[in-house]
Chain A
Amino acid sequence: MPGLRPSKRRHRVHADVELKLIPVMSLLVVLVPMLLQTAVFQKVAAISMSLPSADEVRYLEEPTPEELARSVTVAMTDEGFVVASGDETLERVPLTTEGGYDFEALAAALARVKRSFPSQEALVLLVEDAVRYEDVVHAMDRARPHFPHVSLADRVQAPAEE
C-alpha cells in the first residue's frame, strides 16, 4: 500500500503528557520499607552433628585397631594443630606469629593428609577446653572440603605429656 501523505490538518501539538506517578510512588513508599524490614542480610546456616543416640549399640563398640590406624584426628591445643592418624603424628601446624591458629596451613596439611587417606571421609577434631568456639568452627570449615564428616571430641590433656 502506498504511503499516504499525512493530512495537513492534523497539526494540533499535544502538550507533554505527564504520567500519573503519584499512585506508583505511594505503592513503592509502602512496599520498600516493608521489604526492608523483612530483609535478611545475615543468613543463618547450620553445621549438623549428630550424637550417637543412647539406644544405639554401635556407640559402645570399640574401634578395631585397623579402624584406629585409618582414622584421622586433628588436635587443637594451645600450641596449634596436631594432625594425627591413630598414634602416629602426621603434621604439626604451629600458631601464627600473632598467636592465632594458622587455618591456611591447616587446610594445606589436611589436603596432604587426604592424599594418603583417600577413602577416609571422617575426621575427629580433638579440642582442648580453652579453645574459642569461633576457632573450632573455622577449623571445621577448613576440614570439611577434605573430610566431610567432622565430629568433635574432647581432648584430655595427657598428664604424661612432657
Chain B
Amino acid sequence: MPFSPTKRKKHFRRRPREMTLQITSMIDVFTILLVFLLKSYSTEGHLINIAEAIRLPTSTATLEVARAVSVGFNDRALYLDGELLVEDVTPYLASDEMAIPPLLRALEERAARVKEVAAKNPSVVFTGEIVLQGDREIPFRLLKKVIYTAGQAGYVNQSLAVFQEE
C-alpha cells in the first residue's frame, strides 16, 4: 500500500511528475496508414523502369505488363531499357526510311544474345516480347517507326505501356 510521504519528503517533490506523451491518437493514425499502405502494396513492384522524361498516356487497359525489353521514346530521345540510346530522334522521324538504324542494331544485338543463350539453355526462350513506352505527345509516325523497327529485329509480341485509369 502506497504510503503518504512525510512532510519533509513532500518538499522534494516540487518538480512536476514525469510527462508522458499522448501518443494513442498518433498510433491510431499510423495504424490506419499502415493498413492502407499494406493494402496498396503490390508484390510485383516496378517491373519496368520508365525514363523520367516519358509521360505515358492513360488508358482503361488492365493487362499486366510483362517483364521484357522496354523501349521508351518521347519527341526528343529514345531509351532502351531506361538507358539513353538516341539523343535526338528528329532526323529519324523526318526520314522516309521506316526503321530507326541505332535502335534496330541494339535490338538485333539483344535478340542475338538471347537466342544464343536459348540454344544452350532450354529454359530460356526468345519470346520476342517488348514493351513500348511512348510519351503521350509523340506523333503516330514515331510510334509506327518504333513498331516497325522492333518487328524487324524479331520482337513481334509488342505491348504498349500505359498508365491505368482509375
B-binding residues in A (CB < 8 A): 12, 18-19, 21-22, 24-25, 28-29, 31-32, 35-36, 38-54, 76, 127-134, 136-138, 140-141, 144, 152, 154
B147 to chain A, nearest CB (A): 7
With the chains together, A128 CA to B23 CA distance in Å? 62
Q: How far is the CB of B29 from chain A (nearest CB, A)?
A: 9
- Evaluate contact between A43 and B164: CB separation under 8 angstroms: yes
**A47 CA / B165 CA spacing, docked (Å):** 13
Given A131-B140, A140-B59, decide whether A39 and B158 contact each other with a Cβ distance below 8 A.
Answer: no
Can you sample 5 A-B contacts with CB below 8 Å?
A28-B27, A28-B34, A35-B41, A41-B40, A137-B162
Which residue of chain A has the shortest Cβ distance to B56 in the bound complex?
Answer: A44
Which of B102-110, B112-120, B127-135 binds A?
B127-135
Q: Which 7 A-B pairs have the closest CB atoms?
A: A35-B37, A134-B136, A129-B141, A28-B30, A46-B159, A134-B57, A43-B164
Are A130 and B140 also in contact (CB < 8 A) when A18-B20, A28-B30, A44-B50 are? Answer: yes
Contact across chains for A47 and B63 when beta carbons are under 8 A apart: yes
Contacting residues, chain B, for A141 (C-beta < 8 A)? 59-61
Chain B interface bracket (under 10, 10 to 19, 20 to 34, 35 or more) = 35 or more
**B residues within 8 Å of A by Cβ?**
1, 20, 23-24, 26-27, 30-31, 33-34, 37-38, 40-42, 45-48, 50, 56-66, 128, 131, 134-144, 147, 151, 154, 156-164
Known: A46-B131, A132-B137. A154 touches B144 (CB 8 A): yes
Which of B42, B139, B151 makes the CB contact (< 8 A) with A51? B151
A154 to B134 CA separation, bound complex (whole angstroms): 17
The residue in chain B whose Cβ has the minimal distance to the Cβ of A154 is B144
Our count of residue pairs bridging A and B at CB distance below 8 angstroms stands at: 146
A42 to B38, CA, bound (A): 16
A134: which of B24, B27, B131, B137 is its contact (CB, 8 Å)?
Answer: B137
- Are A133 and B140 touching (Cβ within 8 A)? yes
With A28-B31, A32-B37 given, can you name 17 additional A-B contacts, CB distance below 8 Å?
A12-B1, A29-B30, A32-B34, A39-B41, A40-B40, A40-B45, A40-B46, A42-B164, A44-B50, A45-B62, A45-B164, A46-B161, A47-B162, A51-B151, A76-B140, A132-B137, A137-B58
Chain A residues contacting B154 (CB-CB under 8 Å) are 54
Q: Which of B23, B33, B47, B61 has the most CB of A within 10 A?
A: B61
Residue of B whose beta carbon sits closest to that of A128: B140
CB distance from B36 to the nearest CB of A (A): 9
Q: How far apart are the CA atoms of A130 and B41 in the complex, in Å? A: 39
- A53 & B26 in contact (Cβ 8 Å cutoff): no
Q: What CA separation (Å) do A32 and B32 show in the bound complex?
A: 10
User: Closest chain A residue to B41 by CB distance?
Assistant: A35
B61 touches which one: A39, A45, A134 (CB < 8 A)? A45
Task: Using CB atoms, name the residue of chain B closest to A125.
Answer: B140
